Chains A and B, each alone.
Chain A
Amino acid sequence: MRHALAHADALYNFARWLARDPVEAEDLVQETYARALGAAKRFEPGTNLKAWLFRILRNASIDRRRRSQREGSLPYVEDPDADRELAEPALSELQLGQIRALVAEDVAAAVHALPESFRTVILLDLEGMTEAEVANVLGCAAGTVKSRLWRARAVLRDRLAAYRP
């Protein structure tokens, strides 16, 4: 637990992709650490602290949106199509060249435009988490993570290839 603050950057980065604005992202990170303090006795030393903190942050984010939904300000909707079958298009060399030429803003915009369940697995995967760790964060089976990541990457490739600045 004493190393928890070392994950502040990674947690904030994740929060920025889940929250509506930087202020909400900061709130989410603070709430994550406050919840972690409150639940410190339930953390098992030797288990993955980073995945545990990410799980807390994601749950805090979901709770916030559910509260917002109740207050009528922002609907929270799970992605109904996250696990449906997807026909993966083949990309030409020209399209791959286009993807290589994209700048940071384009890549960020494409990731932002993904359904949240896709965006989440992409980001957690980029954090270097294993499928089992991502499954722990999301509270689902590792097999679900595997297939969702595969679909998320396919959708992202397709969108990046079609991107026109």
Chain B
Amino acid sequence: MDCGKARELNLNELRGLLSSELAAELREHLSTCAPCRDHLEAERVLSEVLDARLPQLAAPLALKRRLAASWPASPSAARAPRRIGRPAWAAAMAMSVAAAGILVVVGSTAFLIQQRSELSQLEGETVNDHLRMLGGAPLAQVAGGLHEVKPWFGGKLDFAPAVRFAGNDDFPLKGGAVEPFLDRRAAVFVYKRRLHTASLFVVRGDGLAFPTSLRTRIVRGFSVALWKAGDQGYALVSDLNLPELLELQAEIALH
């Protein structure tokens, strides 16, 4: 086997897709070829980084509601649009939404329940909203810490976010924002850790499944922590590893 062929096969070897004969042939080549071993390692690193770090953006709930409302129980029974241009489908969608009425709520709820549990829905929303923050959602910059951020929320929220952690050398506070979170507004506190960004979303907890004890998960490569304190729900998310995220969570919960 030559180097060109070996490198062509390296990715499929990592994925376990080679026949046993081909895999043996490749391993024999790799045992004597350092550049091809380096190539295999480079493929492995790229796969790990893409799997763990490349953001996966879930569809917004509003879009899912629209899709659920416009999707018939039996697609084959639906009349095909005569022409699928933007005006045609947009009008079809709008008419469907208007006609569906209360069924929109029922249909979309059933759809969401089918898709994931309430907790995983919260986690998914947390990651989505974090990605929106990373994507450049407007952030109130702060030079003077928390006492500059909290007044900024005044008039923008119908609750006072109970957050007193003003950041420290390990987790400086970068700023704050008000962003949609499911069906309500969230106070967002953005902290940094080296080059990493962590977003803390604080919302009114009523009607949402925030756990009373801390729950942590890795969701689409992001570390996510959910908890509830008083009547407020907290969702903390970052691409930091879980232990580091928990350091930040402890600071927030302690203060």
Contacts and interface: CB of A to CB of B under 8 A. Distances in A.
B102 interface: no
Contacts of A9: 56, 58-59
B71 A5 contact: yes
A160 B46 contact: yes
Interface string B76-114: 101011001010111011000000000000000001000
Contacts of B55: 104, 107-108
Contact of B81 (A34, A157, A160): A34
Contacts of B195: 103, 165
A103 B196 contact: yes
Nearest to B17: A130
B59 A8 contact: yes
Interface residues on chain A, size class: 35 or more
Interface stretch (A23-31, A73-81, A132-140): A23-31
Interface string B52-82: 0111111110011011101111111010110
B54 A99 contact: no
Nearest to B4: A88
B134 A37 contact: no
Interface in B206-223: 221-222
B129 interface: no
B11 interface: yes
A33 interface: yes
B11 A40 contact: no
B53 A107 contact: yes
Interface residues of B, number: 54
A67 to B, nearest CB: 9
Nearest to B239: A104
A16 interface: yes
Contacts of A26: 59-60, 63
A107 B73 CA distance: 40
Given A88-B7, A107-B54, A153-B46, A29 B75 contact: no
Interface in B149-204: 195-197
Nearest to B70: A33
B196 A111 contact: no
Interface string B40-56: 01110110111101111
A11 interface: yes
A121 interface: no
A104 B53 CA distance: 5
Given A5-B67, A160-B46, A150 B54 contact: no
A6 B58 CA distance: 12
A37 B45 contact: no
B96 to A, nearest CB: 10
A37 B8 contact: no
B35 interface: yes
Given A12-B58, A13-B57, A16-B57, A90 B35 contact: yes
A34 B115 CA distance: 21
A126 B54 contact: yes
Interface in A125-165: 126, 146, 149-150, 153, 156-157, 160, 165
Interface of B: 7-8, 11, 35, 38-39, 41-43, 45-46, 48-51, 53-60, 63-64, 66-68, 70-76, 78, 80-81, 84, 86, 88-90, 92-93, 111, 115, 134, 195-197, 221-222, 239
9 contacts: A5-B68, A29-B67, A30-B63, A30-B90, A35-B84, A40-B80, A100-B49, A102-B49, A126-B54
